[in-house]
Amino acid sequence: MYDLLIVGAGPAGLTAAIYARRAEKSVLIVEKANFGGQMTFSPKIENYPGFTTISGSALADGMVEQALSQGASLELAEVTRVLPRGDRFTVETDSGVYEAKTVILATGAAHRTLGLPREEELVGAGVSYCAVCDGAFYKGQKVAMVGGGNSALQEAILLADLCEKVTVVQNLDFLTGEKKLADAVSSLPNVEILLGRVVTGLLGEDSLSGIEITETATGKKETLPVDGLFVAIGLKPENRAFADVAELDEVGYISSDERCLTSTPGLFTAGDCRTKSIRQISTAIADGATAALSACRYIDSL
């Protein structure tokens, strides 16, 4: 029996663990993928207070180390169901069952895919959603980056240092990322920016050999030979497993109040998985602190 079980080890979940442990509550964090969440995929973070620049993986490592040093426990498993049982919760995972007085859902969000035929089949064989993870495999080769936001532009800059050529494909007629990043990408000699186009096909048999691009205005198609395709077109929540205990909005984010409390007493949420207007590391850690302190007050009232 834990005082608090946290689903997800991103910045929100790790912050919640730190605050709860400082309040002398027993804490278990259950994470299904990578400790640190989406920030581990960012090659450079320049808007996190206290650091002029830091890699996402380094920041994540520091948060994990701090949570562990405070006495939080970590388990690598996927939570499949959360069941309210009176004044406690039963949490089912793919490797065991746990009980807790309170639960914080800090599941974050996953990479959006293009939804193309064979896309999943080609992941790891030319298709990637993380330039930090896989960029080095394409050193000296030609790659494409889909997306025009901050993440896509940051990854394009990273890839330009490694690859012979980087082609940025954006569906709109302009880049949506910060002007500073857009200017930096535009100034790179080995980067080409194709606006008003979408990727409509993946070419190659066992591995990617090229992509089909379609102009959004005219429908004109062209083929672009590339060795790798990196996709950075946003995130989507993964909250379907909790729809019976937490109210979700129309696109699947968890609804909560300013205490980060969901529609179920004792069940809280924090970070990118909940309804909010701004999704940044700084807002995730704010949620984590709020959810943890709210959970501690709930436990003390039992």
Q: Considering the candidates 87, 94, 130, 249, report the single residue annotated as catalytic.
A: 130
Which one, of 280, 253, 281, lies nearest residue 269 by Cα?
253
Which one, of 118, 137, 301, 134, lies nearest residue 232 by Cα?
134
d(CA 63, CA 69): 10
Q: Considering the candidates 3, 61, 87, 133, report the single residue annotated as catalytic.
A: 133
Q: Considering the candidates 3, 134, 227, 272, report the single residue annotated as catalytic.
A: 134
AA letter at 152: A
Tell the residue number behind the tokens 């809280």, with chain if given.
Answer: 268
87 is known as an active-site residue: no
Enter the tokens of residue 229: 């395709």
Enter the tokens of residue 276: 């909010």
130 is known as an active-site residue: yes
d(CA 286, CA 55): 20
- Residue 144: exposure state from Cβ atoms within 10 A (0-12, 13-18, ≥19): buried
Neighbours of 69 (CB within 10 A): 10
Enter the tokens of residue 295: 């959970």
260 is known as an active-site residue: no
Enter the tokens of residue 238: 């993964």
d(CA 62, CA 49): 14
d(CA 222, CA 209): 14
d(CA 56, CA 167): 24
Enzyme catalytic residues: 130, 133-134
